[in-house]
Structure 1
Amino acid sequence: MLECSNRSFPESGTLFQGISSMKFCSQCGAPVSVRVPAGDNRPRHVCDACDTIHYQNPKIVAGCIPEWGNRILLCRRAIEPRYGLWTLPAGFMENHESAVTAAAREALEEANAVVENLSLYGVYSLLHVSQVYLMFRGQLREGQASPGEESLEVCFYAEHEIPWEDIAFTVVRETLEQYFAERRAGAFHLHVGDIIREVDQFRIHRYA
């Protein structure tokens, strides 16, 4: 069942928060300033000389749950942020790459794992970092995996073995909790939600 809430926007004085720093125009090299262009309603980096508008848009992250029997594959991070904690293989999409290809590539890069038959499982918007996560389910070919350059180790976990206290990211925890609950129930569904950072915690708003 679709759950929706009223949309809310920050006051105009706070719209400038979250805009990355940019000093010079990539088109002509002149200084840029942050202002609301004509016909727009949000502050943008605008060139003071050639009027080029430099849009900043959310980054897309693709990842997957590699399944092998009743276990799933997790990677222990060898890089910051969240060094040493456990995560699902995931990373930023490349240009000219499909979401499915990106999710499979990340599994190969982080865990030397070939994941097949990928199907979309979760779509999560991380508002505080302007990222959208596309999480897939997929089958691991031959149960083979080993640490890639960005992983300290990889491990196959059953639900009761998951190191919940050492999961790196809220979006990974949410994905795993939904996954195991639905596997117990015997049916999987697509999940859509927002992960919202509050003062000292994250709040998850689920649409589906």
Structure 2
Amino acid sequence: MSKKPILFCTQCGAPVERKIPEGDDHERYVCTACGEIFYENPLNIVGTLPVWEDRVLLCRRAIDPRKGYWTLPAGHQEMKETTRDGAARETQEEAGIDFRIADEPYVYLDLAHASQSHVIFLAAMESPEANPGPESFEARLFSEDEIPWDKIAFNSVDKILRLYFEDAKTGNFPFHYIERHKQGKIS
């Protein structure tokens, strides 16, 4: 179900109601006048894990939720945008760095409980310079022992960072797929 309920039909303006449409098996918003069905789909969160030498770049959020906490440059994928293009756009908007993005995803977090999919690509920074946009107070490079673990914005970011530093020990960065059905720490 939407976080913000749908109240009126976008086709005719009549009120909508929640019900299972004929031939369906999920409750949906359905227009009470014209019968338009409104399908709700998961959100794609796309971004990168930028790397410079042995450090990773994190952005300190200037927006809610979790304002003031550290995260990876990531956000909502736009319509008619590939996950890779969206990840590159979000990285540029939030971190303002020069980088080369990997061809394939590094981590895919399938978070059913949140109706979200997080697709994260590795990004090789061209220089250590960052020029964060308005959604970030600052962007900074951290080695593993410098990361403010108690100030990481999201459980998913914590997991991605821990995967990265484990992989860095071997120099092998395989694709990681993680599926979660319930809220809580991603192990």
Same fold by TM (over 0.5)?
A: yes
1:161 aligned residue (143, 146, 150): 146
What residue in structure 2 maps to residue 57 of structure 1? 41
Amino acid corresponding to residue 83 of structure 1 in structure 2: K
1:151 matched to 2:136? The reply is yes
Residue aligned with 2:91, SS: helix
Cα drift, residue 141 of structure 1: 1.8
CA distance in structure 2 between the aligned counterparts of 1:68 and 1:18, rounded to whole angstroms: 39
Is the Cα contact below 8 Å between 1:194 and 1:204 reproduced in 2? no
Q: Which residue pairs with 1:193 in the alignment? A: 178
Q: Structure 1 residue 31: deviation in Å?
A: 1.2
Show the 5 A alignment for 1:16-27.
20-27=4-11
Query: 1:196 deviation in Å?
Result: 4.5
Output the CA distance in 1 between the equivalents of 2:93 and 2:156: 20
Aligned residue identity for 1:28: C
TM normalised by structure 2 equals: 0.93
1:204 and 2:186 aligned: yes
C-alpha contact (below 8 Å) 1:107/1:115 kept by paired residues: no
Q: Alpha-carbon deviation of 1:195?
A: 3.7
Whichever residue aligns with residue 62 of structure 1, its letter is V
Q: Which amino acid aligns with 1:106?
A: E
Once the two structures are superposed, what CA deviation does each residue of 1:14-43 show, in whole Å capped at 9, x if it has no partner? xxx656411111011111110001111110
Q: Tell me the distance in 1 between the aligned counterparts of 2:180 and 2:142.
A: 25
| Structure 2: gaps spanning 5 or more residues | none
In the TM superposition, 1:36-115 aligns within 5 A as 36-115=20-99
Contact 1:107 1:114 in 2 (8 A): no
Contact 1:111 1:154 in 2 (8 A): yes
Residue-by-residue CA offset, 1:75-99 (whole Å, 9 max, x unaligned)? 0011111011100000001111111
For 2:12 and 2:3, the matched residues in 1 are separated by 21
Structure 1 residues 20, 39: CA separation in 2 closer, same or farther (over 3 Å shift)? farther
Q: Taking structure 1 as the reference length, what is the TM-score of the superposition? A: 0.84
Q: Is the contact between residue 101 and residue 121 of structure 2 (CA under 8 Å) also seen in structure 1? A: no
C-alpha distance in structure 1 between counterparts of 2:149 and 2:105, whole Å: 23
What percent identity do the matched residue pairs reach? 41
What pairs with 1:129-148 in structure 2 (closer than 5 Å)? Answer: 129-148=114-133
Whether the aligned pair in 2 keeps the contact of 1:88 and 1:172 (CA below 8 Å) is: yes
For 2:32 and 2:101, the matched residues in 1 are separated by 49
RMSD: 1.6
Query: What number of residue pairs does the alignment pair up?
Result: 186
Aligned AA (2:112): L
SS class of match (1:22)? coil
Using the alignment, how far apart are the partners of 1:96 and 1:113 within structure 2? 24
1:49-106 residue CA offsets vs partner (Å, 9 max, x unmatched): 1111100000111010111111111000111110111000000011111111111111
Partners of 1:204 and 1:106 in 2: how far apart?
A: 23
